Amino acid sequence: MAILERVIEDPIRNIALKDGRYSPEAFRFLFEALTQAMIMAGKERAEGVERHVTGQEVLEGMRAHASDLFGPLAAQVWRSWGVTEAIDWGHIVFLLVEARLLNRQDTDTIEDFRDGFDFDEIFVKNYKPLLPEDPDDLGGPELG
């Protein structure tokens, strides 16, 4: 484990266990998804306050990251972590802000996360598997 990961990991675990609503995996996932959120918002090369992503941008990055990692099971994975609706991600963000592991702007509120998206709608009903156009690219044994 890298030094930076160890420095962040213990406080994240402690925050999650102290709060008790969400598993430490949810907190770690949020940090992983922030990079995706910055890329999707076109802010990956920005510095300082210009790197700030809104609650809706964070949710969009998390949706994309969860879809990539978990596919149609993403909603179930999130629920297993205690995250049952988008506002839960706002609670996690603000727990990290209170612990000074994330920064916020004065205009940021937990309510920015309230009208996120329906997990089952976005992950299950709208799921489209990525399949190669040529069946020969599947890598299975040749038939015939």
Q: Where are the domains of the chain?
A: 3-127
The pLDDT score that the predictor gives to residue 19 is: 94
Structure confidence by residue, pLDDT tens digits, 66-105: 999 999 999 999 999 999 999 999 999 999 999 999 888 8
- C-alpha 28/C-alpha 96 separation (Å) is 11
The pLDDT score that the predictor gives to residue 93 is: 94
Q: What is the pLDDT of residue 16?
A: 92
Give the pLDDT of residue 139. 60
**For residue 1, what pLDDT is reported?**
47
Q: Which residues of the chain have a pLDDT value below 70?
A: 1-9, 135-144
Give exposure, 95-131, as e/b (b: 16+ Cβ within 10 Å).
bbeeeebbeeeeebebebbeebeebeebbeeeeeeee
